[in-house]
Structure 1
Amino acid sequence: MTNTVYLITGASRGIGRGLVEKFLARPNITVIAAVRDPAGASSQSLQSLSKGESSHLITVKVESTSPTDPEAAMETLINKHGIDHLDVVIANACISEDFSTVHEVPIPVLRKHIEVNGFGPIYLYQAIYPLLKKSEKPTFVGIGSPLGSIGGMEQRPYSCAAYGPSKAILHWIVRKIHFENEEFVSFIADPGFPQTDMGNAGAKAVGLEKAFQTVEESVSGIVKAIDEGTRESVGAQLRIWDGSQFPW
């Protein structure tokens, strides 16, 4: 059986870790966990996750604000680990640290969110593009959010003047990738409001006890979209974890 290769950023915790765990448990899989600090405890603990038969995990350093980390990671994967293609790349790493309205959002905070959530996936995509094109079914997934939607903004009336625009950049890039590459499956996956550190912090910021979905629910929905999705069924769409579609 052909080995399927996944690369996931922000892989040491939250949704990223859940995705690593889900894919790594399958047989004949290589999961590349891209993390900010490979030596950190949360990154090191990934090695203890259960592995399917003939599956293995590779950890590489990718810090989202670094223009050079993704390229260096690709060189390591090719030269040290013999990776000659990537099948599925999931741009998951992001930040959500501010809940300001437009008239009060600090510009340095907005700039930081755009650097991580907007520029980071572009740095990643440009570096992985040659290996992704070698897949029989190249799949590029951005972990996005309805908070970055323009057409459906009124359905998520939360203050997010830093996070929302940064996700709108990601959405545009991922959708454009679909139209620029006829063989790609490229779409945005929304994890909902998962009970991660980031999700629960956001919930408390708007007066809730905790976020709505378990990590398992969110991750399972994303994995289902990746496994079953085709260019025709999910391409260029903003897909919610429950299988529904959200307006751009």
Structure 2
Amino acid sequence: MSSPLTILITGANRGIGFGLVTLYLARPSTTVIATVRDPTSPSSKALQSLPRSPASRLIVINLDLASTESVNVGIQSLTVKLNIHALDVVIANAGIAGTTPPLLSCTTADLQMYIDVNAFGSLELYKGVLPLLLKSKAQPKFIYMSSAGGSLTSMNTMVPLAAYGASKALGNFLFKWLALEQEGEEKVVVWCQHPGMVATDMGKAGFELLAKQGIDLSAHIISVEQSTNGIKNVIKNASLESTNGKFLGPDGGELPW
């Protein structure tokens, strides 16, 4: 029998986020809080049609990582309007991706947009949900959805993702730091999670770009289902001793920073 679980997933109306919501709604006794930038969009409304296991429920709230005010209002609505006073798991999945020109051609504004959402937005989310995570009756967990594109060791300039990669590298640093600087007896398991090379809409665009340059990654591409099942398993087995402050792939293996 599944124990009750309350999980918040940002960027829930597409790709990996949608897949994670689908998986967790299929788990009995689970409250899934799905955050989206526009609850009225067709992709957000599609969340309501997902099947649910007994005693599981879906709550959709507005939250935009590009706005600190939106993050704060969204988190406050959990306690003030929805009577949710504790969270067991938070997956900071929302983010933006895209190609950028060579760094010498980029403006600071070109880079800042990615950093504000992919790094600082998730940091503000962590600050907002931390009090709720610390009220969990289980071991609370916070997952920063990172990317191998943010790995300095694996850096490859063949793909023009400098702004995206820089934002994820910064996010990796921030969340490893947050994982390690925790004090006191009550701690949250915090780690950076690479979802794999996933066949989402954003992922496919990147793979097509590489293919035009003669780089075929088809043997390494995984489906949304494969990615989210792997991530769910990593979350289930995560602990302070084995997972805190790590950078992990969907199979649970450690990745180079």
TM-score in terms of structure 1 length: 0.93
Does 2:197 align with 1:184? no
Corresponding residue of 2:230:
221
Matches of 1:2 and 1:52, distance apart in 2: 13
Matches of 1:101 and 1:155, distance apart in 2: 13
CA drift of 1:66 comes to 0.5
The 5 Å alignment of 1:56-135 reads 56-135=57-136
CA drift of 1:100 comes to 3.3
Instruction: Decide whether aligned partners of structure 1 residues 232 and 174 sit closer, same or farther in structure 2, where only a CA change above 3 A counts.
Output: same
Corresponding residue of 2:239:
230
Matches of 1:180 and 1:239, distance apart in 2: 19
Does 2:247 align with 1:246? no
CA drift of 1:23 comes to 0.7
Tell me which amino acid in the other structure corresponds to 2:210: V
Does 2:17 align with 1:16? yes
Matches of 1:127 and 1:234, distance apart in 2: 22
CA contact (8 A) 2:191 2:247 kept: yes
Tell me which amino acid in the other structure corresponds to 2:20: L
Instruction: Decide whether aligned partners of structure 1 residues 2 and 224 sit closer, same or farther in structure 2, where only a CA change above 3 A counts.
Output: closer
The 5 Å alignment of 1:198-213 reads 198-207=202-211, 212-213=221-222
**Matched residue SS, 1:26:** coil
RMSD value over aligned CA atoms?
A: 1.8
CA contact (8 A) 2:158 2:210 kept: no
CA drift of 1:169 comes to 1.6
Corresponding residue of 2:35:
34
Matches of 1:77 and 1:161, distance apart in 2: 36
Deviations 1:43-91 (A, max 9, x none): 1110111111101000111111111112111221112211010110010
- Give % identity: 38
CA drift of 1:149 comes to 1.5
Tell me which amino acid in the other structure corresponds to 1:145: S
Tell me which amino acid in the other structure corresponds to 1:191: P
Q: Provide structure 1 residue ranges, at least 5 long, that are not aligned to the other structure.
A: none
Corresponding residue of 1:4:
5
Instruction: Decide whether aligned partners of structure 1 residues 186 and 107 sit closer, same or farther in structure 2, where only a CA change above 3 A counts.
Output: same
CA drift of 1:99 comes to 4.1
CA drift of 1:102 comes to 2.6
Tell me which amino acid in the other structure corresponds to 2:165: G
Does 2:153 align with 1:144? no
Corresponding residue of 2:198:
194
Matches of 1:173 and 1:120, distance apart in 2: 12
